[in-house]
């Protein structure tokens, strides 16, 4: 399953695929990962919300669930053992938690095994017309298509921060892309991941996705789909599986984000705090992969950016979600409505599943910096658009960092 808000819609493996129409698919190809935007925004509530660990490793190496997480599950009538044994598949409206304070993502060890990761190929889609521009004054001509190129394996050598995001939705297992970013409160030891809002939260008509997990340098050796059928987990997830402990997305995405039309796209971003599936090894995610990107919330105006490089794991045809690809192009502007921030837009052939992947350019210090993420693009492919990161995005980023300061 792959998310690219259709601009790229999530597809279910058990369903017959529809013939692509000239609409935008939310580029999150999060194979049921798509709209998982964290439920709280940069306001006071989100900043003061109490962090909750997904799991804690005791001195004897056993993983235990913190009491506060058990209590929050009980508040919603959820028994932890039943949850792990399949209750998480209950998507009744009263079970599908929506608010930021309700984000719950207990680690289910072994759930994301190589087979389940390989077969997740859907993304949360958000169909929109090919021309969805609003204020023509700040929308540039549609960019010429740019064919995505494969990243040379091992992927870790050139894109150590990039990886694949897995999650479950009512439609099945889904996929998106994501990026390891720096944590101001824990320099050099970040456990923070940047992705699209629609890869963690379903928007105005749904809640948080479940079993959200990040795999850095997924399929690092670039194995084919056939080769992956017999590959051990060490080949599929060489740097481990990292579960979301906490997620945060914009209030705008939660209030307005939708599966069609590109609603909420200018605010389609999210930040995850993650923890290793097997319990603490003493190393953070940043230390484990050896890198994390800074996030630039004051990136130059479009005309001053020479090029942006988008990275992701596109899963909709003609791609299969198993390979890391990139597009590099000079960005243009896309405005959906006059009231919302103008988005970046580049030519790119990547499809659903690429959603949430980082957009990187040269920062003010001359080094690479993340300035956006894939949000939407037409089902027919050809271009992608991502939000301009401003005060709302920085508020979310700072709030997640503050929650886990010193941890």
Cα–Cα distance, 96 to 238 (Å, whole number): 32
Least-confidence region, from 59-73, 98-112, 144-158: 59-73
Contact status, residue 19 vs residue 25, Cβ threshold 8 Å: no
Work out the widest C-alpha separation in the chain, in whole angstroms: 62
> Kindly report the CA angle at 6 between 4 and 10, in degrees rounded to 5?
60
Provide the CATH number for the domain formed by 2-403 in this structure.
Answer: 2.40.10.120
pLDDT in tens, 12-22: 333 333 333 33
pLDDT at residue 66, rounded to an integer:
63
Check pLDDT > 80 for residue 25.
no
Best CA proximity match to 400, nearest among 179, 244, 283, 206: 244
User: How far is the CA of 400 from the CAs of 59, 179, 181, 200, in angstroms?
Assistant: 27, 15, 12, 15
Helix (H) or strand (E) holding 275: strand 270-276
Contact status, residue 235 vs residue 353, Cβ threshold 8 Å: no
Name every residue whose Cβ is closer than 8 Å to that of residue 242 and which is 6 or more positions away in sequence.
191, 193, 213, 214, 215, 216, 274, 275, 276, 277, 285
- Supply the DSSP string of 85-143, one letter for each residue: TTGGG---TTTS--SGGG------TTSS-HHHHHH--EEEE---BS-----GGG-PPPP
Which pLDDT band holds residue 5 (cuts at 50, 70, 90)?
Answer: low
pLDDT at residue 125, rounded to an integer:
61
What is the average per-residue pLDDT within 156-174? 96
Which pLDDT band holds residue 288 (cuts at 50, 70, 90)?
Answer: very high
pLDDT in tens, 201-229: 999 989 999 999 999 999 999 999 999 99
pLDDT at residue 6, rounded to an integer:
53
What distance lies between CA 28 and its chain's CA centroid? 7
Residue that is written with structure tokens 């928007």 in the block:
203
Domain definitions of the chain by residue range: 2-403
Contact status, residue 359 vs residue 374, Cβ threshold 8 Å: yes
Buried b (16+ CB within 10 A) or exposed e, 268-291: bbbbbbbbbbebeeeebbbebbeb
Best CA proximity match to 25, nearest among 2, 47, 58, 59: 2
What HEC string does 283-325 produce? CCHHHHHCCCECECCCCCCHHHCCCEEEEECCCCCCCCCCCCE
Greater model confidence, 345 or 31? 345
Q: Is 358 exposed, middle or buried (0-12, 13-18, 19+ CB in 10 A)?
A: buried
Which pLDDT band holds residue 260 (cuts at 50, 70, 90)?
Answer: low
Residues facing residue 167 across a β-bridge: 174
Q: Across all residues in the chain, what is the average pLDDT?
A: 82
pLDDT at residue 76, rounded to an integer:
76
Helix (H) or strand (E) holding 149: strand 149-150
pTM: 0.84
pLDDT at residue 99, rounded to an integer:
85
Check pLDDT > 50 for residue 32.
no
């Amino acid at each position: 399953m792959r998310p690219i808000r259709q601009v790229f819609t999530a597809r279910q493996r058990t369903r017959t695929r529809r013939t692509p129409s000239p609409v935008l698919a939310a580029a999150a190809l999060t194979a049921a990962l798509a709209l998982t935007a964290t439920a709280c925004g940069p306001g006071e509530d989100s900043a003061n919300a109490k962090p909750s660990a997904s799991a804690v490793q005791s001195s004897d190496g056993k993983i235990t669930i913190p009491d506060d997480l058990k209590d929050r599950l009980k508040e919603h009538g959820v028994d932890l053992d039943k949850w792990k044994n399949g209750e998480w598949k209950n998507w009744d409206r009263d079970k599908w938690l929506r608010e930021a304070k309700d984000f719950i993502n207990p680690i289910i060890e072994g759930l994301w095994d190589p087979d389940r990761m390989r077969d997740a190929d859907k993304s949360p889609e958000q169909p929109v017309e090919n021309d969805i521009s609003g204020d023509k004054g700040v929308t540039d001509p549609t960019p010429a298509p740019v064919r995505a190129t494969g990243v040379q394996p091992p992927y870790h050598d050139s894109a150590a921060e990039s990886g694949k995001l897995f999650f479950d939705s009512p439609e099945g297992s889904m996929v998106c892309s994501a990026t390891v970013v720096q944590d101001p409160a824990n320099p050099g030891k970040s456990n923070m991941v940047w992705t699209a809002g629609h890869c963690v939260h379903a928007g105005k008509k749904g809640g948080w996705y479940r079993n959200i997990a990040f795999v850095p340098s997924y399929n690092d050796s670039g194995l084919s789909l056939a080769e992956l059928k017999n590959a051990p987990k060490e080949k599929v997830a060489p740097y481990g599986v990292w579960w979301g402990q906490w997620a945060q997305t914009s209030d705008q995405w939660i209030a307005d984000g939708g599966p069609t039309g590109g609603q909420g796209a200018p605010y389609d971003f999210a930040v995850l705090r993650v923890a290793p599936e097997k319990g603490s090894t003493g190393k953070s995610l940043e230390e484990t992969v050896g890198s994390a990107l800074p996030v630039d919330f004051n990136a130059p105006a479009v005309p001053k950016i020479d090029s942006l490089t988008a990275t992701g794991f596109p899963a909709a045809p003609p791609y299969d979600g198993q390979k890391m690809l990139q597009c590099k192009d000079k960005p243009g502007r896309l405005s959906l409505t006059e009231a919302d921030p103008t988005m970046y837009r580049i030519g790119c052939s990547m499809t659903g599943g690429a959603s949430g992947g980082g957009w990187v350019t040269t920062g003010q210090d001359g080094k690479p910096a993340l300035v956006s993420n894939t949000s939407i693009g037409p089902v027919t492919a050809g271009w992608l658009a991502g939000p301009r990161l401003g005060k709302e995005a920085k508020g979310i980023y700072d709030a997640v960092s503050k929650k886990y300061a010193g941890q």
